[in-house]
Every structure is written in structure tokens, then in C-alpha cells.
Amino acid sequence: MEFLYQAAIDVARMAHAKQLRKYTNEPYIVHPFAVSGLVASVTNDDGMIIAALLHDVVEDSDVSLDTIKGVFGLRIAGMVSDLTDVSKKSDGNRRVRKQIDLEHTAAASKEAKTIKLADLIDNTKSITTFDPDFAKVYMREKQRLLEVLVDGDATLFALAENMVRDYYMKRQESK
């Protein structure tokens, strides 16, 4: 299993090598590591932790799902597929694309939903901190996303739900 972990780290590093995290300019790889760390905090399922490392690879690079399947197997490729947005710019505006991706996520496995919760948690921290204007749009989307993620890990779900609730409570208090 150590080989698969190292391979996942290598693939994620390669896929995200030229990317920086929006707002912080950190190397993007910190995000997959943070997501996999959150997943590892609630499960010892190696496949889920590896899929968390790879969750943005297909979306952000030319690494294909077939390559993921060939290297990591069908189960991990299935989770990565569940986590990969399926909408395209040509599908319409952001609202339309997010609806398409929401429906895709609704059909995802419980394991992929757990990883998606970890992704949501990590992204929410930076967006609400560094981009309050976009956070208004983003948090509405995440509120809707939570409705389809209830099958994910209960601990991560509660954390994500609390982050969304706290965001709206703080906005109410500031009015």
C-alpha cells in the first residue's frame, strides 16, 4: 500500500506542479494533502485517503481517469470520477454548471461524499477568509451541496454544516 500512497503523492504533485492556491499563493499540493488529512482523521481506508490526494487531478491536469484506473485500480478511480466535476463551460453559466455537478455528486458513493466534505471544509476556510464577496455565492452553493452529502462521514458533515451555519450567523451579526 505504501507504493500506492507514494504514487498518489507523485501524481498529485506532478498534476498540480504549476498551480498555486488562490488567495494564499501556496503550492496547490497543500490542498490535496489537507483534504487527505481530513479524510484520514475519520477513516483508515487507504483507498479513500489515496482518492482524496487525487481528487482534483483529473479536473486540473491531463491525467485521465483511465490512467488513474490503470495505476490505482477501479475503486480509487471510481471515487476520483465521483469527485470530478462533469460540467463544461459550454453547459451554461455558473449556476447551471453547479447544478449539473450537484446532480453528479448526489449520485456519488458514500466514500466520495466523505472526501467531498473534506474538500468543502478546506476550501471554505480560505474562501470565507480571503474573498468575502465570492463567499456569498460560494456558501449558497455549499449549503445546497450539503443536502446531497448527508451520506458522507457524520463527523465531517457536522463540521461542514457548522462552518456554513457559522458563516451565516456572522453575516447576520454584522448587519
Give the pLDDT means over successive 10-residue stretches in the chain (175 positions).
92 95 93 98 98 96 96 98 95 94 97 98 93 93 96 98 93 75
Residue 148 CB coordination number (10 Å): 17
CA distance 41 to 61: 27
Beta bridge partners of 20: 27
Q: Which domains does the chain have, with CATH numbers?
A: 2-173 (1.10.3210.10)
The model carries a pTM of 0.95
| 50: CB partners within 8 A, 6+ apart | 4, 5, 8, 36, 72, 76
Active-site position among 10, 26, 59, 66:
59
Query: 143-154, pLDDT tens digit by residue?
Result: 999 999 999 999
Report d(CA 136, CA 141) in Å as an integer.
9
Q: 174 exposed, middle or buried (CB, 10 Å; 0-12, 13-18, 19+)?
A: exposed
From CA 43, how far away is CA 157, in angstroms rounded?
A: 14
Q: What angle do CA 168, 115, 160 make, to 5 degrees?
A: 15
What's the CA angle centered on 85, arms 43 and 49, to 5 degrees?
20
Q: State pLDDT tens for residues 12-31.
A: 999 999 999 988 899 999 99
Say which of 45, 46, 60, 151 is annotated catalytic: 60
Q: Tell me, yes or no, if 59 is annotated catalytic.
A: yes
Q: How far is CA 112 from the centre of its chain?
A: 9
